Amino acid sequence: MENAGRKLSFLNRFLTLWIFLAMLLGVGLGYFFPPVSMLVNLSVGTTSIPIAVGLIWMMFPPLAKVRYEELRKVVTAKGAKTMLSYSLLLNWLIGPFFMFVLSWVFLAEYPDFRNGIILVGLARCIAMVIVWNDLAKGDNEWAAILVALNSVFQILLYSVLAYFYITLASSWIGGQGTSVNISLLEIAKSVAIYLGIPFFGGIITRFYFIRAKGREWYDNKFMPKLSPTSLFALLFTIVVMFSLKGEYFVKMPFDVIRIALPLIAYFVPMFVLSFALGYYVNLDYKRTTSLAFTAASNNFELAIAVAVAVFGLSSQEAFATVVGPLIEVPVMIGLVNVALWARKHFSN
């Protein structure tokens, strides 16, 4: 257990370095060894098998750590209604509208890229936010609750909001919109794969081993060995994602920069706004952190899947959605450090 603790501490201490090395490795593999990108692009429908495996395993350890037996106590605690209300406001009103505005500010002359960015903004995070929250010492129980809430609203609202922002609102501004036809089944499938599998896997693992081995063994022996594997899965996923579009980053760097600008302008202000909101309404650090990362992150898996299904694998829209996580990952790592620094300003 001691060695595992040191290993996890070492990973955390240099995680930013490992992530940038994983990004470079992925770009290098995709550019210099194209057959590698073909291998990692193995998919069933629009679901990339390597990415799905990496994301599912990446989310599994944090979700296995959630104290599901205490969730009822969590949602009935003081401030729970405030937390849920602000999460819905940030995720389904402010976030999508803010990304829509930024897409027009930065990409008014690039409608294909703009549509891709809008799809990213509409997809609220149900995957990597679990990892960012865990690294920043946020509230795992509340992160699980907010992720589940986003999943339900994603199924209900994603198609409607995509039609509104891409077809209607864009036509009001620019005189033309793009007709979108997004299947609710596609959205539900993405939620089931990227959230359902690790979520139910975490529940089954926790209750089975606590009953078989006891809580002390589970918390003090099993989880310290399981938790570091989440970071290895994160690095694997980053290598895979970057290798898929490695040639684009070398051949079309200015397009990448052009797409990156509205994303950077989105992630940081959304995090700061959400974090400041949690602080000023007297949420504790852990719940504030869960709220902020949930609001600032996006479900790039769903955005990519939808862009590929609607516009095609080689479309500019799909390319824009792929750039999304490549910008989000290093930005979120930076915001994890910002959150940990800000923790000292909270009294609880």
Distance, in Å, from the CA atom of 71 to the CA atom of 65, rounded to the nearest integer, reads: 13
Strand partners, 47: 44
The one-letter code for the residue type at 139 is D
The pLDDT, as a whole number, for residue 7 is 41
pLDDT in tens, 251-272: 677 888 899 999 999 999 999 9
Q: Which residues contact 94 (CB under 8 A, 6 or more apart)?
A: 270, 273, 295
Strands 43-44 and 47-48: antiparallel
Q: Which of 9-18, 21-30, 301-310, 321-330 has the lowest mean pLDDT?
A: 9-18
Q: What is the DSSP string of 193-246?
A: IIIIHHHHHHHHHHHHHHHHH-HHHIIIIIHHHHTHHHHHHHHHHHHHHHHHTH
The model carries a pTM of: 0.76
Residue 333 has pLDDT above 90, yes or no: no
The top-scoring range by mean pLDDT among 50-59, 139-148, 243-252 is 139-148
Q: Is the pLDDT of residue 146 over 60?
A: yes
Mind giving me the DSSP string for 155-191?
HHHHHHHHIIIIIIIHHHHHS--------HHHHHHHH
Q: Is 323 exposed, middle or buried (0-12, 13-18, 19+ CB in 10 A)?
A: buried
pLDDT at 37: 61
List pLDDT tens digits, range 185-218: 766 776 777 778 888 898 999 999 999 999 999 9
Domains and CATH numbers, the chain: 2-343 (1.20.1530.20)
Percent of the chain, pLDDT > 70? 82
Place of tokens 């770009």: 27
CA–CA dist 245, 86 (Å, integer)? 36
Mean pLDDT in the chain?
81
Q: Which residue, among 136, 75, 78, has the nearest Cα to 293 in the 3D structure? A: 136
Provide the pLDDT for residue 114: 93
Q: Which amino acid appears at position 129 of this protein? A: V
Mean pLDDT lowest among 6-20, 59-73, 283-297:
6-20
Helix or strand holding residue 47 (H, E): strand 47-48
Is 141's pLDDT higher than 80? yes
Q: Select from 104, 187, 109, 194 the least CA-distant residue to 153.
A: 187
